[in-house]
A and B are shown apart, each in its own frame.
Chain A
Amino acid sequence: MDAAVSHHTCKELLVSLSDYLDGEAAEALCAEIERHLADCEDCRVVVDTLRKTILLYRTLPPPSPPQTIRARLLHALELDKDAP
Chain B
Amino acid sequence: MTKELPAPTLLSPELLDEAYEQRLLERIRAGDRTACAECIDLHSAGVYRLALRMVGDPHEAEDIVQETFLNAFRTIDSFEGRSSLSTWLYRIAYNAALMRLRKKQPLHVSIEPYVDEEETATTPVQLFDWCCLPEEDFQTAEARNELERAIGELPEPLRAVFVLRELEGLSTEETAQALDLSVSNVKVRLHRARLWLRERLSGYFTELAQRSQERN
Contact = CB atoms under 8 A, between A and B. Distances in A.
B194 A54 contact: yes
A56 B140 CA distance: 12
Nearest to B197: A53
Contacts of A15: 191
A69 B65 contact: yes
Contacts of A52: 130-131
A1 B127 CA distance: 8
B81 interface: no
**Interface majority SS on B: helix, strand, loop or mixed?**
helix
B8 A58 contact: yes
B151 to A, nearest CB: 8
A64 B48 CA distance: 8
Contact of A57 (B33, B49, B129, B166): B166
B191 A58 contact: no
A45 B128 contact: yes
Interface string B166-207: 110000000000000000000100110011011001100100
B148 A63 contact: yes
Interface residues on A, range: 35 or more
Interface in B74-108: none
Contact of B33 (A18, A30, A64, A79): A79
Contact of B187 (A18, A53, A62, A77): A18
Contacts, number: 134
Nearest to A55: B5
Contacts of B197: 53, 57
Given A58-B5, A83-B33, A49 B130 contact: yes
Contact of B124 (A4, A59, A79): A4
Interface of B: 2-8, 10, 33, 36-37, 40-41, 44-45, 48-49, 52-53, 58, 62, 65-66, 69-70, 73, 123-131, 138, 144, 147-148, 166-167, 187, 190-191, 194-195, 197-198, 201-202, 205
Q: Which 6 A-B pairs have the closest CB atoms?
A: A18-B191, A65-B48, A53-B198, A5-B124, A45-B129, A46-B124
Interface of A: 1-6, 11, 14-15, 17-18, 20-23, 30, 42, 44-46, 48-66, 69-70, 72-74, 76-77, 79, 83
Given A4-B124, A49-B198, 16 more contacts: A2-B125, A3-B125, A14-B195, A48-B131, A49-B126, A53-B197, A56-B147, A57-B166, A57-B167, A58-B7, A62-B49, A65-B49, A69-B44, A73-B44, A76-B66, A77-B70
